[in-house]
Structure 1
């Protein structure tokens, strides 16, 4: 079976720091290589992989202001589509745009829908609903107008996340600095619970950061450490008392939630989107609805068995589990099956 993995090119695959779609594409590619599959990864030229690497640009456009994203996205996608006949299956992690090629090629295309940035993109998914194959990354993120061949949770390489039984006293916010991710709410939870908060993430909304985050930073109990890379992330997550995830949107998955649990760190999250699928209530963390409930949950964190958090994440969100699930989907598609 010859498989083409189409990764985005906003960031390197795997990303140096932020880049969840690129990270999942990288994890799956390496997982398939472990299964002795013949894989070609379409990504940036500086990507790191054991697969055959195809690229049209050496660097990611989010890291190079001289690049026009639309131009290089078109060149990147067309580079794969012009070689489509060389593959048994194309696995698209590049959102909706590659679907517009799907009726022009004979190779089946599987698209992992990593969430809907806006309902405005839905017409593209609906147009190609009958001739494409869609996978959701959580049951909560399925749209009723689309057909899905499976739900496959994102998988993480456990080697990058160290289990730590002993922790420090700080709470952690890890993710995009954006209103929907709840950085401000995390600050309130930390202050009301009397604990230090470390904030790590890409500043995606500068105005929000300047108005709702920066005024509370003091390098003592509310600390911003920037956009952390893999080594810093492993240490921050593993030593945290708990990860705070007070989202205000229906998040399709939430990689940081699974990553924290791989380190043994419990998660306190607002009960939205996929959180009930990721977090086992009272066992790997707590699902809450308000800042006040989150503060109360902080006092109950010590009842959580950190080793069980690790076991839960390994069982449900490992690279091995994701790879096996996708291989089942590949065989189903190539054998002409559907859900």
Structure 2
């Protein structure tokens, strides 16, 4: 489920070319183009895990950031986008031991508790309210994310997403429907008015069609059945 572009991985997988592999995104496969890929299957989550919010009504509209407060998740970009868009930002995130120096050196001073509010790490049962009441999710990562669950969790709540055009995010975002994949902070700020006008019911509908756990299970079953068929054909 992780990135596959580490230099020591390709030789290892070349030693075992017969082993079939399933990727969680087309982007993930680029790190190992010669592996025995039999399918690409995007992640899915239960459709009833998050109830959509079609008319969020917090006292003040806010943008959400959900994830680790780490350099590769780029919370600094999220803060910049929110400030330049004139919207409040709520950061729900874990600060790992490896990320504490980055947080203290580069992020802590940007959090004022008002326009930029760090709410801490939230529990699974708090995600729906946090994401559902947000005007949008910011996912401005700076690494080739093989998939990323936060965007589809937001979509399950009916909340559109602005994500970086990086890793699997262009595969996840339906441009102009569930959000926007962008290449720069300026582009994210420019997309904000359109993001706020997206149809949250349509965002949820796309989630149900593309990212349900039922769809994922069916795709895996189909891949396994194809694999069984291939092996039975070779054995006969």
- For structure 1, list consecutive stretches of 5 or more residues without a partner in the other structure: 1-112
Contact 1:160 1:230 in 2 (8 A): no
Residue equivalent to 2:26: 139
Residue 252 of structure 1 aligns to a residue in which SS? coil
Residue 269 of structure 1 aligns to a residue in which SS? strand
**Do structure 1's residue 309 and structure 2's residue 203 form an aligned pair?**
yes
Contact 2:77 2:140 in 1 (8 A): yes
- Quote the offset at 1:117 in angstroms: 7.1
- Quote the offset at 1:160 in angstroms: 1.5
Residue equivalent to 1:300: 194
**Structure 1: how far apart are the matches of 2:69 and 2:49?**
23
Contact 1:152 1:326 in 2 (8 A): yes
Residue equivalent to 1:290: 184
Residue 119 of structure 1 aligns to a residue in which SS? coil
Of 162, 176, 180, 2:72 maps to 180
Residue equivalent to 1:229: 123
**Structure 2: how far apart are the matches of 1:208 and 1:281?**
32
**Structure 2: how far apart are the matches of 1:134 and 1:296?**
40
TM-score by length of 2: 0.90
Contact 1:114 1:137 in 2 (8 A): no
Residue 140 of structure 1 aligns to a residue in which SS? helix
Matching of residues 47-58 of structure 1 within 5 Å = none
**Structure 2: how far apart are the matches of 1:235 and 1:315?**
22
Matching of residues 147-296 of structure 1 within 5 Å = 147-167=36-56, 168=58, 169-204=61-96, 205-296=99-190
Residue 186 of structure 2 aligns to a residue in which SS? helix
RMSD value over aligned CA atoms? Answer: 1.7
Contact 1:139 1:151 in 2 (8 A): yes
**Structure 2: how far apart are the matches of 1:262 and 1:201?**
19
**Structure 2: how far apart are the matches of 1:235 and 1:127?**
47
- Quote the offset at 1:151 in angstroms: 0.4
**Structure 2: how far apart are the matches of 1:123 and 1:328?**
29
- For CA contacts below 8 A with separation 6 or more, give which structure has more relative contact order: 2
Residue equivalent to 2:14: 126
- Quote the offset at 1:221 in angstroms: 1.4
Total equivalences in the alignment: 225
Residue 180 of structure 2 aligns to a residue in which SS? strand
TM-score by length of 1: 0.63
Contact 1:154 1:322 in 2 (8 A): yes
Contact 2:45 2:211 in 1 (8 A): yes
Superimposed CA distance per residue, residues 8-47 of structure 1 (whole angstroms, 9 cap, x where no aligned partner): xxxxxxxxxxxxxxxxxxxxxxxxxxxxxxxxxxxxxxxx
Contact 2:3 2:144 in 1 (8 A): no
Higher mean Cα deviation, 305-314 or 201-210? Answer: 201-210
**Structure 2: how far apart are the matches of 1:225 and 1:121?**
38
**Structure 2: how far apart are the matches of 1:136 and 1:253?**
10
**Structure 1: how far apart are the matches of 2:16 and 2:121?**
37
